[in-house]
């Protein structure tokens, strides 16, 4: 998501294994949809890194120095694309659960 016209996601790291079965969907995403995703998001630096023997994940690095990691094991290429789009649209802020409203009696 853009905050005051500036996209908050700076870098998207796509980590996968070239052998494991849990990385099948992300490998198909890399082959078929990653190039189109890069073209639609020129403001974003996309890095694909080979990480053998580990489950695949997407890591988003934001302007405010926060990062979000999403596990994408056993997902379809469409689900991986949806996760990448959600990371792009996020502001990168920490998720804080709001407390219930406290009522004070005086």
Q: What is the pLDDT of residue 96?
A: 76
Residue 61's pLDDT is: 98
Half-sphere exposure of 39 toward its Cβ, with a 13 Å CA cutoff? 5
Right CATH for 2-89 from 3.30.70.590, 3.40.50.1000, 3.40.30.10, 3.30.930.10:
3.40.30.10
- pLDDT beneath 50, residues of the chain: none
pLDDT of 2 reads: 81
Place of tokens 């974003």: 44
The per-residue pLDDT for 97 is 74
E strands, the chain, where? 2-3, 6-7, 9-16, 45-50, 57-62, 67-71
d(CA 66, CA 87): 12
Residue 55's pLDDT is 97
Indicate if the alpha-carbon torsion angle 50, 56, 62, 66 is positive or negative: negative
Q: Which residue has 């995703």 as its token pair?
A: 37
SS3 state at 44: coil
- The pLDDT, as a whole number, for residue 63 is 96
Alpha-carbon distances, residue 81 vs 65, 68, 100, 103 (angstroms): 23, 16, 35, 44
Q: Where are the domains of the chain?
A: 2-89
Q: What is the pLDDT of residue 103?
A: 65
């Amino acid at each position: 998501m853009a905050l005051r016209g500036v996209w908050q996601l700076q870098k998207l790291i796509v980590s996968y294994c070239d052998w494991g079965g849990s990385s099948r969907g992300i490998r198909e995403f890399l082959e078929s949809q990653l190039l189109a995703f890069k073209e639609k998001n020129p403001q974003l630096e996309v890095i694909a890194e080979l990480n053998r023997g580990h489950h695949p994940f997407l890591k988003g690095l934001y302007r405010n120095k926060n990062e979000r990691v999403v596990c994408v094991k056993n997902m379809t290429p469409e689900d991986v694309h949806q996760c990448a789009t959600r990371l792009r649209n996020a502001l990168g802020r920490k998720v804080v659960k709001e407390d219930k409203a406290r009522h004070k009696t005086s």
